[in-house]
Copies of this chain bind each other. A is one copy, B any other.
């Protein structure tokens, strides 16, 4: 090991490290006046940097590329001229992303939560994590599970601080995003080897993944059956029914509630968007099976990390078995990173990130409403105000997506109208709804949102019979 390479080297190191930590760390960060460390200063100062210096310098070198404020260079980006190339936001190009591409499409399709990227750049120091080459090589943690205990307790603490879920008396499981947990939950709630497979249902409009997973994986134990409405007034259903309840709903932001109730009804609550960025938090979720994801909490969609709270032990055991046989748990690298990110947001009870998220989303909704207020062609969904126990006020929801309706009789295919105006979104039929609707993502980067508004303005200003005339 490098650590045993000799005391002369160590002496040199100590000299250097004292200088570095004093000038480089303390002074540099003095203006913010916050150390906010987890461990004592002595340990850090005395020890200094040996093996980690190069990796740190490499990361800073990549991050130092400004990319004109319209992109970023990543450590693992394609290397051009000896360093990672700038990866530009949509509608920007050139080696340093300074070139605006005026004829490009506004991309409001995917729910890529880049709106939180500036928050993490502002918290570069506290959110960085150094992974040693020998970090957690084993299949299991020291308690023989594939779940980090520290991460589990931080997640429980977070929900208690935010007040959006009661976690006492519930099992917890981690998944590769909520994506993996959704199918694990369907599997766990389906009967095993019954002649009557479970029916999986979700109220229209629904997130298309529920249907796609169930149909594609084609388990003999369940099948997708669309909207729960047809079972609503029937008491004599014979088989089990698994209802997805998405609250707030993707695509339309409504705080959905379960449609079906009864002894043979199992409910999976998808709470991906149940955070103060997007909605008031009227009360903590306290359900048999509730799924969250880091993607819509911190914005780290690429990390693929979600978690579920489960009341029933048997359901928990079956979901756990699914996750073990499917991927043997969630990458320990991802769990390490999630831990660091959650530590940052938990430090002030989530105040800073939720205020950042709420403010950003409010500004975007204000601009969107203003833009479409000139239109009689396009309307937005109405989501009722909610009491927010977190912000301690009644507030207008600021959903992650606009659910736009084309109001003109002839605009039966709304996404075609938007595409013609160079706007990408998701047509209503993807959510099993009318194609008069389109989902527009409002949670992407500032650049994406600016281009979206600009193209919407162009579309609205060109309306025949627009209100402004």
Contacts and interface: CB of A to CB of B under 8 A. Distances in A.
Given A49-B49, A54-B125, 20 more contacts: A5-B31, A12-B28, A16-B23, A16-B24, A24-B50, A38-B82, A55-B129, A59-B130, A75-B336, A120-B137, A128-B132, A137-B301, A177-B328, A179-B327, A180-B326, A209-B325, A216-B321, A217-B325, A218-B221, A303-B333
A117 interface: yes
Interface of A: 1-3, 5-6, 9, 12-13, 15-17, 19-25, 27-31, 37-40, 43-44, 47-64, 72, 74-79, 82-83, 87-88, 110, 112-114, 116-118, 120-140, 142, 148-151, 175-177, 179-180, 183, 187, 192-193, 209, 212-213, 216-221, 299-305, 321-322, 325-337, 339-341, 344
Looking at A113, A121, A217, A339, which has the most chain B CB atoms within 10 Å of its CB? A217
A216 B193 CA distance: 10
Could you say how many copies of this chain the assembly holds?
2
Nearest to A213: B325
A28 B9 contact: yes
A128 B322 contact: no
A5 to B, nearest CB: 6
Looking at A6, A22, A140, A325, which has the most chain B CB atoms within 10 Å of its CB? A325
A325 B216 contact: yes
A134 B112 contact: no
Contacts of A219: 217-220
Nearest to A57: B44
B78 A149 contact: yes
B150 A78 contact: yes
Contacts of A79: 38, 150
A130 B299 contact: no
